[in-house]
C-alpha cells in the first residue's frame, strides 16, 4: 500500500480516482446515499499528502454511489472478503479529468447539458456574464452552469439566474432562428450541444445577449405599469427574442465564431436592452407582427400547431426583415 501512495504523490499531480467495485450477489444494494466513505478516502489522501510534504488538492472520486453502498453494507458477513479494484489516473489537465467524468458517467442517466457544464467554453461563458456585473449593476445576470449553483445565495434573485436549459432555449430562438423548436423539440436541440450550441469557438456575448433579452422580456410580462406586454403573447416569447435581434441589429448576422464582429453586432441589441422605452417599443413591434401574421393566416395566436411550424417561422423572418428595412 505504501508503494501505491508513493505513486500517487511522486509527480505532484492531481489525481482522479475511479473506483470499480465487483459486488457479490449475496450483498444487497442499498438505494440510500451516504458519502462518508468517499470523505474518508479524501481525508486519508490528505493525511498522506501532509506526510509526504505535499499540499494535496481535493481528489475527484468517481464511484461515490458504490462507496455509500459499501458503507451501508459494512456489517454484512463476508464484506471483508470483497475485492475492490481501484483505477488511479494521475493528471494535471482539466480536459483529461472532464473526459474521464464523461466516459464514466454513462451507467446512470446524465443529461448532456450537465456534462456540457464541464467544458472550457462554459467557464468562459460564466466569466462573460460576470464581466457585465458593473455595467448592469442591480440587474446583472448569474449563469448557473452547475446545478443549484446559487441555490443557497440569498443575495441572488431567482429571476436573474440563467440555467443551461434557459441558455439553450434563448440562444436557439434568438441566434439560430429556431423559436419553434424550443418547446416541442428541446431534446433535439440539446443534442446539438458542442456544434450549433456551445460551440468551442462561439462568441460568449451572443449567449449573454439572448439571456439578457429574455430577462427583459419576462419583466415586461410581469410589470404592472404602462410599459407592460399583454400576457397573451407570453406563449410567443421565443419568437419575440428572435424579433428583438432582427428589429435592432438586422437579419444579416456575422458567423458565431467571429468574436470581434459578433461583439459589435450584439452590442447593438444590448444598447437597446439598456433602455426600457426602447426595448419595450421593439418587443411591442414583435407582438404586432405576430398578431398581423396570425390574422393573415386566419388562425388564433393560441394555435400552437401552426406557431411551431417551419413555414410560420420563415414568414415571420420575412416580415421582420421588411420591418428592419423600413426602420
Give yes or no: residues 275 and 137 share one domain: yes
Q: What is the DSSP letter of 30?
A: P
Give yes or no: residues 74 and 178 share one domain: no
- Three-state DSSP at 19 gives strand
Nearest alpha-carbon partner for 272 in 325, 216, 226: 216
Helices 237-249 and 164-175: angle between axes, nearest 10 degrees = 50
Give yes or no: residues 213 and 80 share one domain: no
Q: 41 is written with which cell numbers?
A: 478516502
Confirm if 76 and 27 have CB atoms less than 8 A apart: yes
Give yes or no: residues 101 and 213 share one domain: no
Give yes or no: residues 244 and 130 share one domain: yes
> Which of 89, 110, 131 is a domain's end point?
110
Give yes or no: residues 90 and 143 share one domain: no
Helices 237-249 and 259-273: angle between axes, nearest 10 degrees = 110
Give yes or no: residues 90 and 145 share one domain: no
List the chain pLDDT tens, one digit each, 327 residues: 323 333 333 333 344 443 333 333 333 333 333 344 444 444 444 444 444 444 444 444 456 666 667 777 778 887 777 776 666 665 656 666 556 555 555 444 446 555 565 578 898 999 999 999 888 878 899 999 888 888 888 999 999 999 999 999 999 999 999 999 887 777 788 788 888 999 989 999 999 999 999 999 999 998 777 778 999 999 999 999 999 999 999 999 999 999 999 999 999 999 999 999 999 999 999 999 999 999 998 988 888 887 888 899 999 999 998 888 776
Give yes or no: residues 158 and 79 share one domain: no
Say which residue the cell 442499498 belongs to: 30
Q: How far is CA 89 from the centre of its chain?
A: 28
> Which of 77, 110, 143 is a domain's end point?
110
> Which of 110, 129, 152 is a domain's end point?
110
Report the C-alpha gap between 245 and 186 in whole angstroms.
Answer: 21
The pLDDT score that the predictor gives to residue 160 is 95
Give yes or no: residues 48 and 193 share one domain: no
Long-range CB contacts (within 8 A, 24+) of 53-59: 54/9, 54/12, 56/9, 57/14, 59/14, 59/15, 59/16, 59/17
CA distances in angstroms from 131 to 120, 148, 271, 296, 315, listed in the order given: 17, 21, 16, 44, 37
Give yes or no: residues 75 and 213 share one domain: no
Give yes or no: residues 271 and 172 share one domain: yes
Instruction: Look at the chain and report how many structural domains it folds into.
Output: 2
Report the C-alpha gap between 99 and 111 in whole angstroms.
Answer: 15
Domain encompassing residue 103 = 2-110
Give yes or no: residues 48 and 170 share one domain: no
What is the model's pTM? 0.69
Amino acid at each position: 500500500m505504501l508503494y501505491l501512495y508513493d505513486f500517487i504523490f511522486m509527480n505532484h499531480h492531481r489525481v482522479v480516482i475511479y473506483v470499480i467495485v465487483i459486488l457479490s450477489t449475496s450483498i444487497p444494494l442499498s438505494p440510500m446515499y451516504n458519502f462518508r466513505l468517499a470523505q474518508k478516502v479524501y481525508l486519508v489522501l490528505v493525511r498522506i499528502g501532509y506526510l509526504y510534504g505535499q499540499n494535496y488538492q481535493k481528489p475527484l472520486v468517481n464511484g461515490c454511489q458504490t462507496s455509500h453502498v459499501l458503507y451501508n453494507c459494512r456489517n454484512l458477513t463476508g464484506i471483508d472478503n470483497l475485492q475492490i479494484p481501484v483505477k488511479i489516473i494521475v493528471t494535471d489537465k482539466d480536459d483529461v479529468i472532464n473526459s474521464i467524468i464523461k466516459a464514466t458517467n454513462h451507467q446512470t442517466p446524465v443529461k448532456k447539458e450537465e456534462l456540457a457544464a464541464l467544458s472550457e467554453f462554459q467557464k468562459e461563458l460564466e466569466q462573460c456574464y460576470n464581466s457585465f456585473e458593473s455595467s448592469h449593476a442591480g440587474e446583472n445576470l448569474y449563469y448557473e452552469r452547475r446545478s443549484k449553483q446559487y441555490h443557497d445565495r440569498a443575495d441572488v434573485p431567482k429571476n436573474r439566474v440563467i440555467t443551461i436549459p434557459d441558455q439553450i432555449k434563448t440562444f436557439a430562438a434568438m441566434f439560430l432562428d429556431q423559436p419553434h423548436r424550443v418547446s416541442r423539440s428541446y431534446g433535439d436541440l440539446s443534442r446539438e450541444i458542442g456544434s450549433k450550441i456551445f460551440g468551442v469557438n462561439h462568441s460568449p456575448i451572443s449567449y449573454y445577449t439572448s439571456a439578457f433579452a429574455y430577462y427583459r422580456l419576462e419583466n415586461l410580462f410581469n410589470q404592472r405599469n404602462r410599459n407592460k406586454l399583454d400576457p397573451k403573447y407570453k406563449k410567443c416569447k421565443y419568437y419575440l427574442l428572435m424579433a428583438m435581434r432582427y428589429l435592432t441589429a438586422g437579419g444579416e448576422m456575422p458567423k458565431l465564431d467571429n468574436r470581434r464582429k459578433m461583439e459589435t453586432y450584439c452590442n447593438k441589441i444590448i444598447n437597446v436592452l439598456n433602455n426600457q422605452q426602447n426595448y419595450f417599443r421593439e418587443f411591442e413591434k414583435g407582438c404586432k407582427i405576430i398578431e398581423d401574421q396570425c390574422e393573415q393566416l386566419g388562425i388564433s395566436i393560441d394555435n400552437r400547431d401552426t406557431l411551431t411550424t417551419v413555414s410560420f417561422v420563415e414568414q415571420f423572418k420575412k416580415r421582420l426583415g421588411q420591418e428592419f428595412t423600413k426602420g
